[in-house]
Amino acid sequence: MNWSYTIWIPLLPFLSFVINGVLYNRLPKKLSGVIGTSALGVAALLSYLTAGRYFFGTTSAEGYQPILAWQSTWMHITDKLAIDMGVYLDPISIMMLVVVTTISFLVHLYSVGYMSEEEGRNRYFAWLGLFSFSMLGLVLAPNLVQTYMFWELVGVSSFLLIGYYYDKPSAVRAALKAFIVTRFADVFFLIGILLYSYYSGSFKFEDLNNIAAIQAANSSIPVFMGLSALTWGLMLIFVGGAGKSAMFPLHIWLPDAMEGPTPVSALIHAATMVVAGVYLVARLFPAFHGSDDGFALHVVAVVGTFSSLFAAIIAMTQMDIKRVLAFSTMSQIGYMMMGLGVSGYGEEGLGYTASMFHLFTHAAFKALLFLGAGAIIHAVHSNSLKDMGGLRKYMPMTNITFLIACLAISGVPPFAGFFSKDMILEAAYEHNKLIYFTGYITAGLTAFYMFRIYFMAFWGRNRDYDHKPHDPVWSMKIPLIVLAAGSVVLGLLPFNEWVTSDLRPLHIHFDMMMAAASVGIGVIGIITAYLLYRKPSDAPDKISHSLGFVYKTVKNKFYMDELYLGIMREVILKRIAAPVAWFDRHIVDGTMNLIGNTTVGLSKGIKRIQSGDFQVYAFGILIAVIFFVVLFNYFIPTI
Amino acid sequence: MTERIIFYILAFIMIVFSLMSVTSTKIIRSAIYLLGVLMATAGLYFLFNLNFLGAIQLTVYAGGIMVLIVIAILLTHHVGFGLPVPDKKHMILGWLAAMIGITISFFQFTTHTFKPKIGNLDDRVSKMGADMLHYGDGGFVLPFEVISILLLAGIIAAITIAKGGIPHLKKRLKSGQPTTVSSSTKKQ
Amino acid sequence: METGIQIGDVLLVTSIMFFIGVYGFVTRKNLIAVLMSLEIIINAAAINFVLINKLVFTTNLHGVFFTFFILAVAAVEVAIGLVIILNLYRLKDSIDPEEITTLKH
Amino acid sequence: MDILTILIIIPTLTVLALIFAKGQKSYRTISAVGMGIQTVYSIYLLTRYLTERAEAGGETMLFRRTVEWFKPWNINYEIGVDGISVAMIILTAIITLTGVFVSWRVKELPKEFFVSLIVLSTGVFGFFISLDLFTMFLFYELAVIPMYLLIGIWGSGPREYAAMKLTLMLMGASALLLVGILGLYFHSPMVEGHHTFSMMAIAQAPMEHMDQLFFFPFVFVGFAVLGAMFPFHTWSPDGHASAPTAVSMLHAGVLMKMGGYGVFRVALLLMPTAAHEIGWIFMILAGGGILYGAFGALRQTDLKYINAYSSVSHLALVLFALLLMDVVSWSGSVLQMISHGLITALFFALIGMVYERTHTRDVTKMGGLLKIIPFIGMMYVMVGMASLGLPGMSGFAAELAIFVGAFQHSGTLERVLTIMAVLSIVVTAVYILRVVGKMLMGPVTNEAFKQMDKARWYEKTAAIILLACIIGIGVAPGGLYKLINESVTPLIELIQKGAL
């Protein structure tokens, strides 16, 4: 079968980027959105075609085989360490392809309506195109360097899009923060790549994942603190993934990133870019699993679990609807990491499949949540939950879709989230009870905070709005409807047939007790939220008041932002950069200037000798004569 | 013995008068002390039986040069004009130079053994005249001619400089323009 | 005739005279006085020539001749020197060596 | 006419034409045309080189030619190029051309300005084609002298101080260099009864071990001062801050690369044993300089100072990679020289454009420029991204090659320094983005800024040429890397043969 057309899937958004970027001012106002949307529409169709052909056309007894659909030389550093750009198709990349193109297409479509009144829409669509291109390039990468390259490009487009309102200082700060934090993580990613590839001798995923061959090729791999260099490399790579996926403690950029336009949050900070870390771990899953008995994978599991609980706790206290969603995203990505972390390989790879499945369904319902939130914000012109309430009357369509998404994320059957979340918890239960228990609690918290915002926004007290809120225009409605439909039905897909750790279909059994338990805690969360927020009351305030210090700490996100800011300001700028700058100006440059000034001083001293006073000259002559007399008489007597 | 005594007297006069000459605050007195030194020198020549040399010393030095100096003093000073006392810097330099110099040269000629005298010097005036105009071995006719030309050149130079366009130069100097000799002579 | 006089004594006298002249040359604040100090220096040197010729190297008259020439040169030097001093005086209204520092340029 | 000598003749003719020209328009037109021809010619040279290279078999140093110059000391005008020199020559031509465009509106003494600028570039071209140490040194000096005039006359701020400091430090460096070169000369093999200045001859027969140890520091430091190695970098911030735009571009873009090139061509190739043995001292200085420069830039508020320190950091990376002495690091290092040359030239060009409009270079006094001058602002963002090593731009390819090369050394010192070097890219991101955030984004701080002119055509031309090169190399570095790598490989083999 010929797969080479797949190169057009990333290239189409790139074209959109180039056209919108180069013809920045010359393009008619409406056209930029049309170009972007249609490019992504075609790309989405192509990726559905690819998915269909791949999943239904290439199955064999060996499972699905990866396909290198397209390849081009980029830079041959050495004959072995050659870097090629390519398109690599395997189940997870195709799954991501579908996710990215679909969400991106819907977000483009949504943005046509959402951004209709903005100046500089061309810029917006150009950046969206760049982002889609980079994300697709990242997803389709056949080697780690290409992944890293597009990883960085994704970061930049995220930076540009967060900073879209660049004359707003908070947006600029958020953009810089997002870029610098992820960049900081990426440095470790790069070191990890270099370290790991030093032993593997290649950047290609096949070689990287073949850990037995790497160990065979290197007679002795150094061991540092009880772990082999390979494990260290993988953990460093995971740091990069954690940065992009906003895992604790590198999560601080994600809530601030909500300064960007809401569709951007839906695309980048909910559905696609932030799951890149999960995708990266999944890509290198055999290596993670094989190195040092999967120690790196344990780290992934612990970080994921902790982040998921941590974010869920913070999400309960936030008043900004987008920030709640941001923390929810972080929490759900933690879930995915947890799923990967607890997974085994082959027949025990339930966690892997579950994690990928959750990634897939999460993309749908989280994008829906963000787009719904965008519709609300568009209607009430505020992000704060305090300015909302009783919206179900004004925005019935939004209400229903938002409710579906909330049910999906809370794990209520038969919505999509139920299946994937249940699978993760099942995998965690088999692996480690503590992780399972934490995940279980988080599921309850998730249901609670999601319905908290749902009830606060759509129910709660009725209020008078200056502008009567209303359902959005059609171009914004269609994505909501499509995603709502997806949130309902996607859970029924036979994911265990398609996406598995060893590419062969995985047999799973459905545990009724587990499912009941997780649904139970979800329902408890929903009921709590219903009781507290269904009607306006002062009960939530009382509760938060009684918690006092704890509540305040959580509301301030455990003071992580302040901690980072403190480190940046006090340590990096004041303790390192300022002394370096001082040292440079005063010591190093001072030394150079001292040499110069000494010379000048010396010359001034010598200059004074030539005073023009001939009597002093005469004295000089006499002394010289005497000097030579003495010299020749006593020291060089032979002359 | 008499010669020695006379020599010491003359030496004493020379040293004391030199000292007076270089330290006196009245320029004209200084000149007179210098005259004393020169005359004592002539006396020394006479003492050594070099009468011709002594006579020249008297006529050229004590006569001619002193007259020039006195006239120069008259042209530039009022009689009895007080000389300023030397400043500290020059005093120190002068003392230093004199002391180091005397020490070194004293050390030199006390440690050096001079060759003994070989015979007597033929110092007749006729011998001097013959040698002066003699161009063979030991003859001084060439230096003699050179000195004559030098003297001539000196006279011409003195005249030229003395009559140079000084007022013009002075004006130029004040206005800050370059003061080359060629341009000033051309203007005249 | 000149038996009693030691060469060392003569050299001592002339070198004292010489350095007195040097002292004067360095310290005097009047160009004519400086010139006079110069005369003392030259004179001391001339005496040395003569007396070394007379007391040590007696085979010829070189020292005496040199003294003749020194006299002649001294005469020229004084003549020209005085003329220059006179010119300077007309130019700057002063014959203080401190004021004549044109050499430093 | 010899194909390489034309590279010197074109600028010389341009200078002659300038001398006889009248009127500002004709000056800049002549300069632009001359440098345009030079650029086209150097690209032609590249194609000629590639075809000749394919025919020549293993030989990489092509178009060699020797003209006797001063027989008694065996000084020859000996020229020749390999892939590295060709790349450097194209870089120089492009930067000089864009430099002419950027100085399109020089007001004071335009004729003299362009003459000095082109004389400078002549020196650089000569430097890159020389194979004779003496000729090379001569061209090097030819490049340094006009720099003094250009900064001293057309500079801004404390220009005399900066010009004097720069020139004195570079002259001091060339004094050291001269010692080293003479040392090389007097220990060189005999050719026709005389010592020789020819690098090719010396490389074949390196001098004795102890002599190498003695002369290596002279040559290395002599060139490293030009490459702004810590602690000899202080001329760079002051010099750049005072220099006019085009001069900053040429200086940071090309002249500093002469330092790296010289280190590579003279110090490392001719004295490999010493480089192996005492190279670690300089490796520590260079490796430390990477982070040092980055942290230094973090605290500056003057745009040019930020960029100057950034250059210190990037050039330190070049020197560090050169000292690692292996094929990948060297290739990456040369690639980094070219990449950094383009990036920093564009940086300085943009800073010049901003300065012309705002009359300040203080970042804290600016804000929201992206809205007012979108072209320049967007270019600045892009070149900033290139500088912090964004994939798709030239900087990334170069840094990646260097890091991959550096990671092949498993010694503790190299490992630690490499990781420090990698960490510096995050600091780079911080200082670049700080400027972007403060200067280009945010609200407009000064009402007067709103009247600023948009970018003019010549400014756009210069910026686009440079950015096109940056992106071109970034998207497809394979060809350039191959060109460099093929030239580096035989040199490394030569060294290893000598070392064994």
With pLDDT > 70 as the criterion, what percentage of chain B qualifies?
84
State the smallest CA–CA distance between residue B125 and chain A in angstroms: 36
Provide mean pLDDT across the span A447-456: 87
Cβ separation A619–B93 shorter than 8 A: yes
Cβ separation A633–B108 shorter than 8 A: yes
Where b means 16+ CB within 10 Å and e means fewer, A491-504 reads beeebbbbbbbbbb
Q: What's the pLDDT score for residue C43?
A: 92
Contacts of D332 in chain A (CB under 8 A): 77
Q: In whole angstroms, give the CA distance from residue D92 to residue D94.
A: 5
Cβ separation A577–D481 shorter than 8 A: no
Give, to the nearest 10 degrees, the angle between helix C31-55 and helix B27-47.
10
CB pairs under 8 A between B and C: 239
Q: In whole angstroms, give the CA distance from residue D132 to residue A165.
A: 57
Q: What's the pLDDT score for residue B166?
A: 55
Cβ atoms within 10 Å, residue A542: 10
Chain C: residues touching A (Cβ < 8 Å): 22, 25-28, 34, 97-98, 100-105
* Structure-block tokens of residue A38: 């249609």
Peptide bond into A261 cis (omega under 30): no
The per-residue pLDDT for range C19-37, each reduced to its tens digit, is: 999 999 999 888 888 999 9
Cβ separation A619–B100 shorter than 8 A: no
D416 CB within 8 Å of a chain A CB: no
Note whether D touches C: 3 CB pairs or more under 8 A. Answer: no
Does B171 score more than 80 pLDDT?
Answer: no
Q: In whole angstroms, give the CA distance from residue A494 to residue D241.
A: 65
Q: What's the pLDDT score for residue B182?
A: 43
Give yes or no for a contact between A455 and A321, defined as CB atoms under 8 angstroms apart.
Answer: no
Q: What's the pLDDT score for residue A227?
A: 81
* Structure-block tokens of residue A328: 């929810």
Helical ranges in D81-132 per DSSP H:
83-102, 110-129
Give yes or no for a contact between D353 and D380, defined as CB atoms under 8 angstroms apart.
Answer: no
Residue D362: phi and psi, rounded to 5, are -80, 120
Cβ separation B104–A630 shorter than 8 A: yes
Going along chain B from its start, the domains and CATH numbers come out as 1-83 (1.20.120.1200), 124-177 (no CATH)
Of 3.40.640.10, 3.90.220.20, 1.20.58.410, 1.10.287.3510, which CATH number belongs to C7-92? 1.10.287.3510
Cβ separation A630–B96 shorter than 8 A: no
Give yes or no for a contact between A147 and A138, defined as CB atoms under 8 angstroms apart.
Answer: yes
Task: Kindly indicate the confidence band of residue B188, based on its pLDDT and cuts at 50, 70 and 90.
Answer: very low
A613 CB within 8 Å of a chain C CB: yes
A609 CB within 8 Å of a chain C CB: no
Least confident of A205-214, B99-108, D483-492: A205-214
Contacts of C28 in chain A (CB under 8 A): 615
Give yes or no for a contact between B152 and B136, defined as CB atoms under 8 angstroms apart.
Answer: no
Contacts of C17 in chain B (CB under 8 A): 14-15, 18, 37
Longest CA–CA span in chain A (Å) reads: 121
Chosen from A610, A613, A617 to mutate, greatest number of chain C CBs within 10 A:
A613
Peptide bond into D391 cis (omega under 30): no
Element (DSSP H or E) covering residue A210: none
B96 CB within 8 Å of a chain A CB: yes
Nearest to A260 by CA among A337, A182, A179: A179
Q: Which of the other chains make 3 or more beta carbon contacts under 8 angstroms with chain D?
A: A
**Partners of residue D65 on adjacent β-strands:** D79
Element (DSSP H or E) covering residue D79: strand D75-81
Give whole-number Cα distances, B108 to A375, A629, C13, C15, in Å: 113, 9, 14, 11
Angle at CA of residue B87, ends B85 and B92, nearest 5°: 120
Longest CA–CA span in chain B (Å) reads: 67
The per-residue pLDDT for range A488-506, each reduced to its tens digit, is: 888 888 877 888 887 777 7
Helical ranges in B112-140 per DSSP H:
125-132
Task: Kindly indicate the confidence band of residue A114, based on its pLDDT and cuts at 50, 70 and 90.
Answer: confident
Give yes or no for a contact between D256 and D311, defined as CB atoms under 8 angstroms apart.
Answer: yes
The per-residue pLDDT for range A360-399, each reduced to its tens digit, is: 888 888 889 888 888 888 888 888 877 787 787 888 888 8
The phi-psi region of residue D389 (left if phi > 0; otherwise alpha if psi is between -120 and 50; otherwise beta) is left
Q: Which of the other chains make 3 or more beta carbon contacts under 8 angstroms with chain B?
A: A, C
Nearest to D34 by CA among D11, D5, D1: D11
* Structure-block tokens of residue B25: 């605050």
The per-residue pLDDT for range A336-358, each reduced to its tens digit, is: 888 888 888 877 888 888 888 88
Comparing CB atoms, the residue among C39, C67, C86 nearest residue B76 is C86
Give, to the nearest 10 degrees, the angle between helix A8-22 and helix A31-57.
170
Give yes or no for a contact between A155 and A179, defined as CB atoms under 8 angstroms apart.
Answer: yes
Contacts of C105 in chain A (CB under 8 A): 612
Element (DSSP H or E) covering residue A263: helix A262-266
CB pairs under 8 A between A and D: 138
Contacts of A630 in chain B (CB under 8 A): 104
Where b means 16+ CB within 10 Å and e means fewer, B149-184 reads ebeeebeeebeeebebbbeebeebeeeeeeeeeeeb
The phi-psi region of residue A121 (left if phi > 0; otherwise alpha if psi is between -120 and 50; otherwise beta) is alpha
Q: What sign for the dihedral angle of Cα D79, D81, D85, D91?
A: positive
Which DSSP state fits B57? I
Whole-model pTM?
0.81
Q: What's the pLDDT score for residue B185?
A: 41
Q: What's the pLDDT score for residue A637?
A: 66
Q: What's the pLDDT score for residue B181?
A: 43
Cβ separation A194–D407 shorter than 8 A: yes
Q: What's the pLDDT score for residue B80?
A: 57
Contacts of A197 in chain D (CB under 8 A): 404, 407
Give whole-number Cα distances, A104 to A42, A324, A483, A580, D429, in Å: 11, 22, 12, 45, 28
Report the DSSP pairing between strands A223-224 and A82-89: unpaired
Chosen from D363, D382, D400 to mutate, greatest number of chain A CBs within 10 A:
D400
Nearest to D478 by CA among A71, A99, A153: A71
Does D320 score more than 80 pLDDT?
Answer: yes
Cβ atoms within 10 Å, residue A28: 9
Cβ separation D403–A592 shorter than 8 A: no
State the smallest CA–CA distance between residue A465 and chain D in angstroms: 30
Comparing CB atoms, the residue among B47, B65, B93 nearest residue C26 is B93
Cβ separation A149–D396 shorter than 8 A: yes
| Residues of D (427-486) whose Cβ lies below 8 Å from A | 429-430, 433-434, 436-437, 440-444, 476-478, 481-482
Tokens 């009684």 sit at which residue?
A546
B175 CB within 8 Å of a chain A CB: no
Q: What's the pLDDT score for residue D41?
A: 92
Give yes or no for a contact between A230 and A291, defined as CB atoms under 8 angstroms apart.
Answer: yes
Coil, helix or strand at residue B82? strand
The per-residue pLDDT for range A256-285, each reduced to its tens digit, is: 888 888 888 888 888 888 889 899 988 888
Q: What's the pLDDT score for residue B173?
A: 58
The per-residue pLDDT for range D71-106, each reduced to its tens digit, is: 888 888 888 888 899 999 999 999 999 999 988 888
Provide mean pLDDT across the span A307-328: 88
D385 CB within 8 Å of a chain A CB: yes
Cβ separation A612–C101 shorter than 8 A: yes
Residue A510: phi and psi, rounded to 5, are -95, 120
Note whether B touches C: 3 CB pairs or more under 8 A. Answer: yes
The per-residue pLDDT for range D104-116, each reduced to its tens digit, is: 888 888 888 899 9
Residues in CB range of D139: below 8 A, 6 or more apart: D122, D123, D124, D125, D126, D127, D130
Contacts of residues B169-178 at CB distance under 8 Å and 24 or more positions apart, as own/partner, are B169/C91, B170/C90, B170/C91, B173/C91
The per-residue pLDDT for range C80-89, each reduced to its tens digit, is: 888 888 888 8
Contacts of A609 in chain B (CB under 8 A): none
Residue A228: phi and psi, rounded to 5, are -75, 160
Q: In whole angstroms, give the CA distance from residue D281 to residue D274.
A: 11
Q: In whole angstroms, give the CA distance from residue A596 to residue D164.
A: 10
C43 CB within 8 Å of a chain B CB: yes
Nearest to D265 by CA among D132, D164, D361: D132
Question: Where does A47-197 show beta strands of DSSP type E?
Answer: 67-76, 82-89
Least confident of A81-90, A468-477, D299-308, D349-358: A468-477
Give whole-number Cα distances, A420 to A50, A101, A417, A427, D94, in Å: 24, 21, 5, 11, 57
Comparing CB atoms, the residue among B34, B106, B132 nearest residue C36 is B34
C67 CB within 8 Å of a chain B CB: yes
Peptide bond into D217 cis (omega under 30): no
State the smallest CA–CA distance between residue C69 and chain A in angstroms: 23
Residue type, B181: V
Does B172 score more than 60 pLDDT?
Answer: no
Residue stretches of chain C with pLDDT short of 50: 1-2
Does A316 score more than 50 pLDDT?
Answer: yes
Q: Which of the other chains make 3 or more beta carbon contacts under 8 angstroms with chain A?
A: B, C, D
Task: Kindly indicate the confidence band of residue D33, based on its pLDDT and cuts at 50, 70 and 90.
Answer: very high
Residue D82: phi and psi, rounded to 5, are -120, -175
Task: Kindly indicate the confidence band of residue B184, based on its pLDDT and cuts at 50, 70 and 90.
Answer: very low
Domain residue limits, chain D:
6-498
The per-residue pLDDT for range D241-298, each reduced to its tens digit, is: 888 888 888 888 888 899 889 988 888 888 888 888 888 888 888 888 888 888 888 8
The per-residue pLDDT for range A211-227, each reduced to its tens digit, is: 878 887 777 777 777 78
